[in-house]
Amino acid sequence: MYEQVSIPAAVRAALAGHASSIAGHETGGILLGHQEDATTLRVSRASPPGPRALHSRFAFSRDTRFLQRYLDEIHDRSEGSEDYIGEWHVHHALDAPPSRTDRRSLWRIARRQKYATDNPILLIVGQTSTQRRYRAYGFVAKPKRAHNELRVETMP
């Protein structure tokens, strides 16, 4: 499992914009990036949720068709250097851990061969009216389901 995720300032700005666009509701999307070394993932992009995403105070459902097209376009344009590495979404508390639904979703992704990773990450954007905090978690499904919190390195 990974130990750390690095998030450049441009990605944090995109996340802040996405999170602020639907104030008071959860939103989210996918993360693209690449493995930097044996223990570190680097996030290169955080997608928007998509025009058909559903948002409520305590839940979010992504626009899967939009996100697949987004992923395919970036993957092709980058010649495979940017690929799916996980998911992101907003929680309206600074230190909210992954919910039961979050954990089940990420373990399902870790098991499925159609995803580009068997070690997806979940980036939770904890947001209040005055603060924003990033927490990341790595997931594996084999040999048994497990997850761990990752260090978040914010890059200039």
Domain at 52, CATH number: 3.40.140.10
Tokens representing 84 are 């799916």
Q: In angstroms, how far apart are the furthest CA atoms of the chain?
A: 41
Q: Residue 123: give the domain boundaries.
A: 4-155
For residue 39, is it left (φ>0), alpha (ψ between -120 and 50) or beta? alpha
> Residue 22 has what pLDDT?
80
Total domains in the chain come to 1
In contact, 31 and 85? CB cutoff 8 Å: yes
> Residue 71 has what pLDDT?
96
Confidence of residue 114 (pLDDT cuts 50, 70, 90): confident
Q: Residue 23: is its pLDDT beyond 80?
A: no
| pLDDT, tens digit (0-9, with 9 covering 90-100), for 30-46 | 999 999 999 999 999 99
For the question of whether the overall pTM of this predicted structure is more than 0.85, the answer is yes
